[in-house]
Amino acid sequence: KEAALKNLQTEKRDSLLKRKRRNQIQGWYRVECLCCSIDLRLVARVLAMPIVSTKQLKWCQDVLANIHFDGSQVKRSRLGLLFPCPGSDQER
């Protein structure tokens, strides 16, 4: 009976760990989808402006290049700035 009780406790613990990992992955995916939708909205707003500079177009291209659709999942290849900094135009 002790072995059966220990087995049940182990199964319960493993089940809780699996559920916790699944929830963490789902939470990460929700954040990833939110960030992608924010990126897409920003690009849409920039492109809807009456005058768009070449730097803004390059930024939009970079943002869109970092979003990948892999089957039914959305992935971002790298995390960049939401907005380009005004001082970042200068060459270093």
Query: Tell me: the pLDDT tens digits for 23-79?
Result: 777 777 888 888 888 888 989 999 999 998 999 899 899 888 888 888 877 777 766
| pLDDT, greater one: 12 or 85 | 12
Residue 40 CB partners (closer than 8 Å, separation 6+): 67
For residue 33, CA distances in Å to 50, 58, 72, 87 come to 28, 23, 11, 29
Query: Residues for the chain: how many in total?
Result: 92
**Does the global pTM surpass 0.75?**
no
d(CA 46, CA 54): 11
Question: What CA dihedral angle connects 68, 70, 74 and 75, to 10 degrees?
Answer: -60
